[in-house]
Amino acid sequence: MPPPPESSPRIVEMFTDGACESNPGRGGWATLLRWDKREKMLSGGFARTTNNRMELTAVIEGLKALQRPGLKVRVVSDSKYVTEPVTQRWLEKWAAKQFRKAGGLRDNADLWIELRRLLALHDVTFEWIKGHAGHPENENCDELAVLARAQPNLPRDEGYEAPANAAVTNGLSLL
């Protein structure tokens, strides 16, 4: 998707969803990016993962697709797991504790680290919507995420299978 002109006050809208066949199980994610009258759909999946990882991945992949920093982005998601840590400022508290909690690393630390890095590149707001409630873009993303998880030969989700290794790869020191 081409970036908006430098002087454009327009907002990139991002609609996201994740889906898992069982949890954990085959998972898919989908993102719809909209700017002006242009739209771009993205999707993918993993052979074994969780629904929460797919919800996070949808937002991460959408942000990674933006071609330049400093954009105003409105993320619309049906996942409170994704929206509340940002809107309630928990993500920064988790980062201050290096994504550790009692008993070890926070679930999906690798993805939270990556999301935090990408959020720093843009002016991002999050909006939660009720899932499976007829929201056209959310329904579209849900359908695409379900199709993505059904694809043959899905890759492994290294972050799910080896979370500590993935967290180190994303910059968290475990020493």
For the annotated binding site for Mg(2+), the residues are 17, 55, 78, 142
Q: Considering only CA atoms, which of 10, 50, 57 is closest in space to residue 29?
A: 57
Q: Is 92 a catalytic residue?
A: no
What is the C-alpha separation between 64 and 115, in angstroms, rounded?
10
Q: Is 142 a catalytic residue?
A: yes
Which residue is catalytic, options 27, 44, 61, 78? 78
Contact assessment for residue 53 and residue 18, using Cβ atoms and an 8 Å cutoff: yes
What is the C-alpha separation between 57 and 51, in angstroms, rounded?
10
Q: Is 18 a catalytic residue?
A: yes
Which residue is catalytic, options 27, 44, 45, 55? 55
Q: Is 132 a catalytic residue?
A: yes
Q: Is 28 a catalytic residue?
A: no
What residues form the annotated binding site? 17, 55, 78, 142
Q: Is 157 a catalytic residue?
A: no
Query: How far is CA 164 from its chain centroid?
Result: 19
Which residue is catalytic, options 110, 114, 142, 157? 142
DSSP designation for 7: T
Q: Which are the catalytic amino acids?
A: 17-18, 55, 78, 132, 142
